[in-house]
Amino acid sequence: MSGTSIDVRLFWYAFLAYLAAFGAFALYGATRGRRVGWAANAALTTGFLLHSAGIAWRWHLAGHWPMTNMFEYASLLSWMAVISYLYIAVKYRRNIVGVFVAPVVVALMTCASLLPKEISQQLVPALQSYWLAIHVSLAALGEGAFAVAFAVSVMYLVQEMRHRRRSGTVVALHADAVPTKAMQQAAATVGGSTVEVLDADTEHFFDAAANGGGITGSTRSRRHHDENERTGRLPSLRLLDEINYRAVAVGYPLYTIGALFAGAIWAYNAWGSFWSWDPKEVGALIIWLFYTAYLHARMQRQWSERRAAWLSVAGFSMTILSFLGNLWLGGNHAYK
C-alpha cells in the first residue's frame, strides 16, 4: 500500500469500516442489543467520514469533481447510499434497517474496488462543464436512495413471508380431506405445498378441520391486524412500506431532476439535442419508469404492497444493470 495514493488508501479504510459495520449490524440483527446497534452505526459513520475524506482528497488531486470514471461513480454511489441510510435512520430511528442496507453498501464498495482507480487528470472537453457536478451527483444521490429502498423492500418481503407463515398456513396433505369451501381452494395445490387459505369475501377468524390426513391451521385476516404489529425482529409491514416509500420519494425527484433533466439540458448544450437515445440514457429512462410504476402501484388500491416492493427491487436491479452496461455498450457516455 506504500505506493498507493492517499485517496485510494482512504477508500480502502472506508471499505474496512463498512465491513465492520456490516458485521456489527449482522450481530445487532441477531441480538438486538442497543450497544451493538450503536457500535454498528458508529462504524458506518466512521466509514462514511473516511469515505468523504477520500472523495475530497481525490477531488483535490484531480482538480475536478471525482465522478468521471466507473470507479469514482461506484464509490460515489455507495457514499450516497450511506447518506440516504443516515437520513432514514435519523427520521425513523430504526437500526434494523441498517442490517439490510449495510450489505448493499459493502457490495457497491466491492464493485468499486474491482475497477481501475487511476485519476483521469485531463477531462475530455465534453465533461468540462458545471453540469457534470449537478447531473452526476444528483443522479448518484437518487440511486443511493433507491439502494436504501431496495434494502427496505427486501426487508418488507422477508417480513411479509414471515407474516404469512405465522398468520396461518394450511398444509394440505391429502386432496380428499377438505371439508370446507376454503380448504377446497387450497386443494388445487396439494402435494405437500404450503398454501394460505383466505376467504376472499370476509376477513374474520375461522378454523378448518379435515378428516384424516390433512393438517389444518387457523387462518385469519392479515391486513388489519398484522400490518401494525411487529413480528419478530423486523418492524411492521406498514412501517416498512412507509420507509420504502420515503426512500423512493427522496430518490425519485432527485433522480428525475439529476439524471434525466440535468442530463438532458447538458446534452442540449454539449451534443445538440436533449435526448439522443444513448444506451445510458435509455437505461436511466427504464430505471425511472420502474420507479414511476412503483409510485403509481402504491397509489392504486388494487396493487398490493408486496407488488410495489418487488417493483422497488426490480428498479434497483435495473440500476446495477445500467451501471454495468456502460462497460460493454458504446454511446455518448462511453468515453473510450
Partner 1 sequence: MQQDSKASDSRAKPTSAPRPKSRWRRFWVPRWLVSMKFAIWIAVALAVASVAGVLLQEFFPMRSAADAEALRARLPDPVFRAFGLLQLHDVFRAFWFRGLLGLLAVSLIFCSSQRFRSAFKQAMTLRPFREPQALQSLPHSAVVYHASPELFDAVVGRLRRRFYFGTIELQEGQKVAALHQGGLARTGPVLLHLGILALVLGGLVSSWVGRRHFVEIGPGQTVALEDSRFALRVDDFQIEKNGAGQVKQYRSKVALLEGDREVARREISVNSPLRHAGYNIYQASYAFDPTRASSLTFVVRPRVVDPNTSGTTDPAAAHASPVSQHAHTAAGVGGDPHAACGMESALQSVVVQSGMEGPFAVPGYTGYEFHVTDFFGHLMLGPKGPVNAKRDFDNPAARIEVLKGGKPVAHQWAFAKFPAHSRGELPFTLEMHDAQPALTSGFEINTNPGAPLVWFGFALSTLGLVLAFLVQHRCVFMLARPSERGWSLWIAGRSDHERYAFAGEFARLLRQVKAEAQQLRRQASAPRPALEHTNPNIERASREALVTPYV
Measured CA angle at 288 (ends 315, 120), to 5 deg = 90
The three grid cell numbers given for residue 216, joined into one nine-digit string: 389444518
Helices (H) and strands (E) in the chain, counts: 11, 4
- At 171, is the secondary structure helix, strand, or coil? strand
Residue 23 CB, nearest approach to partner 1 (Å) = 27
Residue 249 CB, nearest approach to partner 1 (Å) = 5
Q: Which is nearer to partner 1, 42 or 334 (CB)?
A: 334
Residue 255 CB, nearest approach to partner 1 (Å) = 10
Q: Which is nearer to partner 1, 71 or 294 (CB)?
A: 294
Residue 291 CB, nearest approach to partner 1 (Å) = 12
330/204 Cα distance (integer angstroms): 58
Q: Which is nearer to partner 1, 69 or 113 (CB)?
A: 69
**Residues in touch with partner 1 (CB under 8 A):** 91-92, 121-122, 124-126, 128-129, 131, 164, 185-186, 188-189, 195-196, 198, 200, 203, 221-224, 228, 230, 236, 238-239, 242, 245-246, 249-250, 252-253, 256-257, 261, 264-266, 268-275, 277, 279, 282, 285-286, 289, 292-293, 296, 300-304, 306, 329-330
Q: Which is nearer to partner 1, 99 or 250 (CB)?
A: 250
Q: Which residue has the cell 385476516?
A: 221
Residue 149 CB, nearest approach to partner 1 (Å) = 13
Are the CB atoms for 28 and 42 separated by under 8 Å?
A: no
Q: Which is nearer to partner 1, 9 or 196 (CB)?
A: 196
Q: Which is nearer to partner 1, 42 or 173 (CB)?
A: 173
Residue 282 CB, nearest approach to partner 1 (Å) = 5
Sign of the CA dihedral 45, 48, 52, 53?
positive
Q: Taking the CB of residue 2, how many other CB atoms lie within 10 A of it?
A: 4
Side-chain-side CA neighbours of residue 59 (13 Å): 12
Residue 153 CB, nearest approach to partner 1 (Å) = 16
Q: Taking the CB of residue 90, how many other CB atoms lie within 10 A of it?
A: 8
Q: Which is nearer to partner 1, 111 or 187 (CB)?
A: 187
Q: Which is nearer to partner 1, 109 or 208 (CB)?
A: 208
Residue 273 CB, nearest approach to partner 1 (Å) = 7
Q: Taking the CB of residue 295, how many other CB atoms lie within 10 A of it?
A: 15
Residues 6+ apart with CB under 8 A from 152: 88, 97, 100, 101, 240, 243, 244, 247, 312
Classify each residue of 19-57 as buried b or exposed e, where b means 16 or more C-beta atoms within 10 Å of its C-beta.
bbbbebbbbbbeeeeeebbebbbebbebbbebbebbbeb
